[in-house]
Amino acid sequence: MNTRLSKIVCLFLIICLSLITLSPDSLSKEAWILASIYLAAIIGLVSKPYPEPVIIIAALAASCIASTHFSGSTIKPLDVVNGYSSGTTWLVFSAFTLSAAFVSTGLCCCHGSAICNTRTGYGRRSDNPFMSHFIF
């Protein structure tokens, strides 16, 4: 079986198990399903069957569908995406994106070579096994 397909089947299996099993006494069925969607999203982000944005958008869509499925739901579809209107969320997202870009392009060691050299103990960039492919 294809590894991507097996990862996707595993994610759907997590959600399907929450549909067929009973929820704990302290949780409603809706909360139980939303928790399984959240768990499947985390496992999907770790196992990476698709890129991160695809996993997150699929989890958001599944959460919206799950919240509209229940008739007496206290969660509206707009409540699912309401957290993205916060400026703090976008600040954290921007910080992670910029830091990943600096690390993947090697700019962190080009502009902060004194910091990188003291932390890693490598004298030259070519000695660093993580940065050896960024030799200019």
Per-residue pLDDT of the chain (136 residues; tens, 9 = 90+): 589 999 999 999 999 999 899 999 999 888 999 999 999 999 999 999 998 889 999 999 999 888 888 777 788 878 888 878 888 988 988 988 888 888 888 777 655 555 555 454 544 555 555 555 555 4
- Residue 130's pLDDT is what? 57
| CB 80, CB 63: distance < 8 Å | yes
| Per-residue CA distances from 124 to 10, 40, 104 (Å) | 44, 42, 18
- Residue 102's pLDDT is what? 81
| CB 63, CB 79: distance < 8 Å | no
HSE value, Cβ hemisphere, 13 Å, CA-based, for 44: 26
Give the phi and the psi of residue 103 in degrees, each rounded to 5. Answer: -70, -45
- Exposed/middle/buried for residue 60 (C-beta within 10 Å: 0-12, 13-18, 19+): middle
Q: Using CA atoms in the order 91, 92, 98, 101, what is the torsion angle rounded to 10 degrees? A: -150
Which of 60, 27, 17 shows the shortest CA–CA distance to 41?
60
- Residue 107's pLDDT is what? 75
Predicted TM-score (pTM) of the model is: 0.66
| CB 41, CB 59: distance < 8 Å | yes
